[in-house]
Amino acid sequence: MELSGSQMVIEALRKENVSVVFGYPGGAIMNVYDEVYKQNHFKHILTRHEQAAIHAADGYARATGEVGVAFVTSGPGFTNAVTGLATAYMDSIPLVVISGQVPISMIGTDAFQEIDAVGISRPCVKHNYLVKDAKDLSRILKEAFYIARSGRPGPVHVDIPKDVTAQIAHFSYPSEIKMQTYKPTYKGNPRQIKKAIEAIAAAKRPVLYIGGGAINSNAAEEVREFAKICGIPAVETLMARGVMGDANPLLLGMLGMHGCYCANMAMSEADLMIAFGPRFDDRVTGKLSEFAKHAKIIHVDIDPSSIGKIVPIDYPIVGDLKNVVEAMIPLAKEQIQADKYKPWRELLKRYNEIHPLRYEDSNDVIKPQWAIERVGELLGDKAVICTDVGQHQMWAAQFYPFSYPRQWLSSGGLGTMGYGLPAAMGAKVALPNKTVINFTGDGSILMNIQELMTAVENKIAVINIILNNQFLGMVRQWQTFFYNKRYSSTDLSVQPDFVKLVESFGGRGFRVKTKAEFDQALNDAMQSGCVCMIDVQVDRFENVLPMVPAGGTLYNMMLEYKE
Amino acid sequence: MDAIRRVLSVIVLNEDGVLSRISGLFAGRGYNIDSLTVAPIPKTNLSRLTIVTSGSTAVLEQIVKQLHKLIPTYKVIESGEFVEKELALVKIPLSEDFNGLDAMLKAYNGTIASSSEESIVLMVADDYNRIDSFLKAVKKYNPTDIVRSGSVAMDL
């Protein structure tokens, strides 16, 4: 089949069953947009900024497990997209991002809207391509989707010069793919798995340390079953919220800097850590020399470079988590007695009773944690929860009752403020029958506020709940704790009228100062069928606790803040 | 922890940008490159890079894993069993006293690669330790320019 480069892009997306593309046109990608106009295989959603197009594709990918797709133009279109790519790369989210580029003959001449896009994206994508000839395009797009979704998922960037999008060439989309150099390992080594099971059987105080890999691998069911068979208590990273389900008695909670006391104590006192797809982030481990120092470590990860990167591993297993845990389950049934760990479970339960996750509620002012708990009570598993980055993100991770994987979408690794609204739009487009909540802050929401327009235009009814403390709250908290209350550039009390703001875009706004108003506003927002913003005036000086100060030890948490 | 010197032979797809992926990886993650050479492997679509690097055991392990992680990487050979050679060119003004130079060149299997009205250019190919000692020895002839190629290596 003879097609132009632009037609090939459309055709490849059709073959990959892409149903929605987020993007923003411009000179270098106009040929592709001309073909977008002529086709009806997928819906194109025009965002109002390229960063948001990538985050929306990312939200779509996290909510579904499918590859998210976005189009941007060359130069500033691409540079605006970089934060989105880096966000997806840090959290291993599968994306294919196609950017326009100036014509090949003009590359290197500092042409209008020219930038070395593959040079910029290289360190923040899993792989990238600059397409030099349309005859390579079918292979490259096939590889791009394959690389994005296979192995450790990640974003792939394809940069296509304008003349290549116009070039006519033969197109035949490969049905199978075999790459000479890229072959991810899915099956765990049986000998290593056997050794790991023996180590678990010999342990007295094992703990499951579950990371984002459990989501990416769609392994939640297997992980839950494994935990149940073995009777081993589990902790989740920020990226893994929802894997065990918060009602699961074996789940201790989130660990790390703002993890709960019992989860961090479990890591500190364990004699064996079973790491299922985490990456030992510094926000999880605290001071490395004190991190889980009594524990032998089993680490299952599909990315060999993740194993042993931060801490030495006693039992490395390279493989897809779902695959590996499936292989572990029958061995566990034979060799592991769940009763054996009962004293250990009891001890951790006592830790949780002594220092549960808590906050001091108030009748005078809404506490941010209350707002999150309240949404949890009212919506529970009916809502998909997105966040921006900061205090509200940590409170949402701590206090929302998650019950299934992909219910929680948050920028963990890069910590991208401005992620929440566009990601929530992506999730809502993917799951129109779910309520999609974006917990955000008065700082974060302004970083992609223009997306209210996209949401209004496309009737994407996401509900933004601003936990408004008129501060850049997380930085303010660090200034309170560690900088002697010198609130340098964190006071956001000069701010827009968020209700008028959202209404000017054509959405609905609610200002909330009391608990009764909160329930009413949430109810009205649910009924409205359009994008909403609930501006919740919360306690200005509430802190996220407990806390392991950066570089501190997990067993020595700051449980409360005293002036 | 003392830095360990390590020679890596990396086989990659010979495609656009592959060298910048590798050098970018080293720069971005703060790894050392002591030398790097690259050339296509005849009659294949592959290239061979010889990278001399140094770091702690843990860092070296990460370097190998991160190299493997790059999509165009076909193979990373890190066995200690290499023939490793490096080439050095040394320019010496004709005004110098060449007493003993012949014997030294013989000792290092060197040759005179070129000569002009002002200077001669010596060439020595050997392992990097021997090149080091040759360059030390040749100092007494006051070389005006020295070029080292970086190591190339072949696994045994």
- B50-90 pLDDT tens trace: 999 999 999 999 999 999 999 999 999 987 789 999 999 99
Domain with CATH 3.40.50.1220 in chain A: 190-354
- Show the 3-state SS of A255-305: CCCCCCHHHHHHHHHCCEEEEECCCCCHHHHCCHHHCCCCCEEEEEECCHH
What is the distance between the alpha carbons of residues A445 and A465, in angstroms, rounded to a whole number?
10
Please identify among residues 101-120 of chain A the ones whose CB lies closer than 8 Å to any CB of chain B: 118-119
Residue B81: the pLDDT is 83
Domain with CATH 3.40.50.970 in chain A: 2-170, 368-537
- Taking the alpha carbons of A72, A75, A78, A83 in that order, is the dihedral positive or negative? negative
| Residue ranges in chain A modelled with pLDDT below 50 | none
Contact call for A181 and B13, based on CB within 8 A: yes
Residue A341: the pLDDT is 97
Residue A447: the pLDDT is 98
The answer to whether the CB of A42 falls within 8 A of the CB of A23 is: no
Interval B16-30 mean pLDDT: 96
- Residue B156: pLDDT band by 50, 70, 90 thresholds? confident
Contact call for B73 and A181, based on CB within 8 A: yes
Residue A421: phi and psi, rounded to 5, are: -65, -50
Q: Which fold has domain A190-354?
A: Rossmann fold (3.40.50)
What is the distance between the alpha carbons of residues A85 and A223, in angstroms, rounded to a whole number?
29
Q: In DSSP terms, which residues pair with B155 in a beta bridge?
A: B82
User: ipTM of this predicted complex?
Assistant: 0.93
Q: Which fold has domain A2-170?
A: Rossmann fold (3.40.50)
Domains of chain B: 4-78 (3.30.70.260), 83-155 (3.30.70.1150)
Which residues in B lie closer than 8 A to residue A308 (C-beta atoms)? 58, 61-62, 65
Q: Tell me, yes or no, if A35 is annotated catalytic.
A: no
Contact call for B71 and A147, based on CB within 8 A: yes
Cis before A278 (ω within 30): no
Residue A536: the pLDDT is 98
A130 touches chain B (CB under 8 A): yes
Residue B1 has pLDDT above 80, yes or no: no
Q: What is the DSSP string of A362-415?
A: -SSSB-HHHHHHHHHHHHGGGEEEEE-SSHHHHHHHHHS---STTSEE---SS-
Out of A8, A254, A474, A557, the active site residue is A474
Which residues in A lie closer than 8 A to residue B13 (C-beta atoms)? 180-181
Tally Cβ neighbours within 10 Å of residue A257. 23
The CATH class, in words, for A368-537 is alpha beta
Cα–chain-centroid distance for residue A350?
32
- Taking the alpha carbons of A471, A474, A478, A483 in that order, is the dihedral positive or negative? negative
Question: Considering CB atoms only, which of B13, B58, B65 is closest to A180?
Answer: B13
- Residue B155: pLDDT band by 50, 70, 90 thresholds? confident
- A325-384 pLDDT tens trace: 999 999 999 999 999 999 999 999 999 999 999 999 999 999 999 999 999 999 999 999
